[in-house]
Structure 1
Amino acid sequence: MIQSVYIHIPFCQHICHYCDFTKFFYNEQLATEYLDALSNEINVQVQGEKNRVKTIFIGGGTPTALNYNQLKKLLAFVEEKFDVWNCVEYTIEANPGDFDEKKAKLLKEYGVNRVSLGVQVFDNAMLEELGRAHRIEDVYKTVELLKKEGLTNISLDMIYSLPNQTPEHFEKTVTEALSFDLPHYSAYSLQIEPKTIFYNKFKKGQLHRPAQEDEVEMYEILKNKMRASGLKQYEISNFSKPGFESKHNLTYWNNDYYYGFGAGASGYLPGKRTMNIRPLPAYIKQANEDGRPLLKVETIGLKEQIEEELFLGLRKLSGVSKRKFQDKYGFSLELLYKWQIDHLVQKGWLVDKKDKIHLSEQGVLFGNDAFEYFLLEDEDIKAIALTKK
């Protein structure tokens, strides 16, 4: 079964200096054309109405950059196509300051039950440096407005290791973020991605990044303050009150299947991973022609599926269940990875419990290095196949 649906809305009122997602400056006519093409893509690939899915996530870009009528058109179509009222979690991404009362009521009216706010940092000067349009006061106004409309399941996103940021500065951001007493928080270390303003500055030596030890200290501050506030870390970058974990993101980390619709969106379907065309004119043209605006389709064989099971599963603090792995693939985790598990346990990066393996606190800091140990050779899969015969 396809667990989840991701829908990409690529429009923004401002382009952030660090963002490498598929995004374009908002244009009313282009946005209307895009929504028509998006609807055709979804209709071609998902037959019928009121389809049952576990989670829906409308991301971007900035979905709430759409005007009121466009946002209503999108939400009405999603409600028609999917059974949103029996959906466990229906999230929309938004920027502080994007809402007025009418838009907030619209979300509630069409079944959205979770809002992910891109706050990033509680410092107006730094927000300007990041290319963000909102200011601190917009966060307070937006959270108050959403709560007033009954949208209380709010996630607040932050970024750390920003240019010229110190651990003390980041601690102030975390403290202010926690003062909202929200059910979910995410915090990601800044990544300098190609084709961004920050990347160009970095290449010219004009971007001062914090030292690695400062980044590690920021992460420790984050974990400690979240823990002290009663929030549980359930993934490397995510913290929540009990029961408020992001069900949609857990679809990714559990290596379950999901649709990806819209320009540049990725999907994961049985045996394949899809990537859509990114440029808007090309996406709109192809989506209108045949509803399949695909840039590429990658075959996911057993080797790739198992690797991703480990890479993604170990991002969760609960780790990878040996029993579920056995049930899913028909052989034990140790049959394929005994040496790797023993080696990483000895290094202090991995904890091997009776039914699970998970990263240790030290292992979380070296997650990418730890994940490399779970890369496979084709011969590994062939050996497993021979063992099972």
Structure 2
Amino acid sequence: MARGVYIHIPFCHQICNYCDFNKVFFKNQPVDEYIEALGREMEMTVAQMPEAFTNIETIFLGGGTPTALSAQQIEKLLGLITKHIPMSSVKEFSSEANPDELTIDKLQALYNGGVNRLSMGVQSFDQSLLEKIGRTHSNEHVYETIQNAKNVGFENISIDLMYGLPGQTMEQWQETLEKALALKLPHYSAYSLIVEPKTIFYIQYAKGKLHLPTEDLETDMYSVLMDTMEAHGLKQYEISNFANEGYESTHNKIYWDNDEYAGFGAGAHGYLEGIRYSNVAPIKKYIETVMAGERPLLHEHEVTADEKLEEQMFLGLRKSAGVTHEEFETKFGQPMLSIYKEIIDQLQQEQLIELDSEGIRLTRKGRFIGNEVFQRFLVGE
């Protein structure tokens, strides 16, 4: 049974240098046709497996950039979502947004359409770094948009930040954190830059033209991030996420809890009825397939019993609460230690995880090399 719905909007007015998500420039794209196709895909999928959609807790509009759409297109999209997705149990309805695109009419369209959480891609408060990574907004856009959002009625607002950016200094990172926290928002996400294939940064890196901070400096930036957030009363509930009590992202927790969710749109991924799937990515192909009455599936994989165990561990350990004995035994019918005692003992000796009567979780030391810890739970590692 799905707990969440992810809806992919693959349109952008500006392509960021680090982004590897399925996206295209907005201009000359069949945006209205795409929105119609999204509605059709939702309708078909819910009709095929209605039981999977009886307890949807969250909906998330991602991209690309959902706020690349016009206010009228946003209204149309939200109308289709509320028409085809059972909404009675939805508590959190989020949309990603760019600060320089979120006009008052778009904010009003989102709010009136049921969206109650905004996740804004701010990344940095240093203008030179914003230009390096391909962002077009200014700090003034951020301040104005957040105030407009509050005026419209939004209370649950989050911003994304990035560290480990090309040429970024510790002073720039500390200044970004200071300006971000001065906004007194209930939620912040902060991610280190990963140079992904098929991005502008990857091309620059391959040519030796991308000058990144050292590994030690990036580690120090993460340490400063954790300490600064804690000093401001924000709880780190996941490796990269910090929130006031009650403002944790329910949608993202679905992924880390290894629970099921539906993915709609070109290139979207989902996990329904034990099957992980991905949709076709080309927009024209997606529209043609859906409007021909077929789900636009590119790939399906039935998750094996071993894979479910692995995913429970490496996704769950991203959470500060870690993986509890109770949730593990409820899902798999056997104690966690009956399967992973040797690995857990070794990680304890290395002071990378801690074990108690509640469960296991990363130590502060373990958070710095989380991926290495996660790999220990994979078959064959």
TM-score band (shorter)? over 0.9
Q: 2:58 aligns with which of 27, 31, 55?
A: 55
- In the alignment, is the contact (CA less than 8 A) between 1:325 and 1:332 conserved in 2? yes
The aligned residue for residue 31 of structure 1 is 31
Q: CA deviation at 1:128?
A: 1.2
Please say if 1:2 is aligned against 2:5. no
Letter in 1 for 2:362: L
- In the alignment, is the contact (CA less than 8 A) between 2:354 and 2:363 conserved in 1? yes
Q: 1:259 aligns with which of 237, 259, 262?
A: 262
The aligned residue for residue 328 of structure 1 is 331
SS in 1 for 2:313: helix
State TM-score, norm by structure 1: 0.94
Distance in 2, matches of 1:150 and 1:85, equals 21
> What pairs up with 1:1-389 in 2 under 5 angstroms?
1-27=1-27, 30-47=30-47, 52-84=55-87, 86-376=89-379
- In the alignment, is the contact (CA less than 8 A) between 1:264 and 1:276 conserved in 2? yes
Letter in 1 for 2:294: G
Gaps of 5+ in 2: none
Deviations 1:4-37 (A, max 9, x none): 0000000000000000001000136511111111
Distance in 1, matches of 2:40 and 2:110, equals 22
User: Deviation above 6 Å: which 4+ runs of structure 1?
Assistant: none
Distance in 1, matches of 2:69 and 2:249, equals 24
Distance in 1, matches of 2:309 and 2:290, equals 32
Letter in 2 for 1:343: Q
Deviations 1:76-102 (A, max 9, x none): 111222344641100000000212221
Distance in 2, matches of 1:38 and 1:278, equals 13
| Worse-matched range after superposition: 295-304 or 81-90 | 81-90
- In the alignment, is the contact (CA less than 8 A) between 2:42 and 2:85 conserved in 1? no
Distance in 2, matches of 1:132 and 1:180, equals 20
Distance in 2, matches of 1:28 and 1:89, equals 32
Gaps of 5+ in 1: 379-389
- In the alignment, is the contact (CA less than 8 A) between 1:263 and 1:279 conserved in 2? yes
Q: Please give the root-mean-square deviation of Cα atoms over the aligned residues, in Å.
A: 1.6
- In the alignment, is the contact (CA less than 8 A) between 1:15 and 1:131 conserved in 2? yes
State TM-score, norm by structure 2: 0.96
Distance in 2, matches of 1:329 and 1:156, equals 36
- Cα pair distance change 1:42/1:105, threshold 3 Å: same
- Paired residues, number: 378
Q: Kindly, what percent of the aligned residue pairs are identical?
A: 46
| Worse-matched range after superposition: 68-77 or 310-319 | 68-77
Distance in 2, matches of 1:115 and 1:84, equals 18
SS in 2 for 1:46: helix
| Worse-matched range after superposition: 308-317 or 33-42 | 33-42
- In the alignment, is the contact (CA less than 8 A) between 2:39 and 2:84 conserved in 1? no
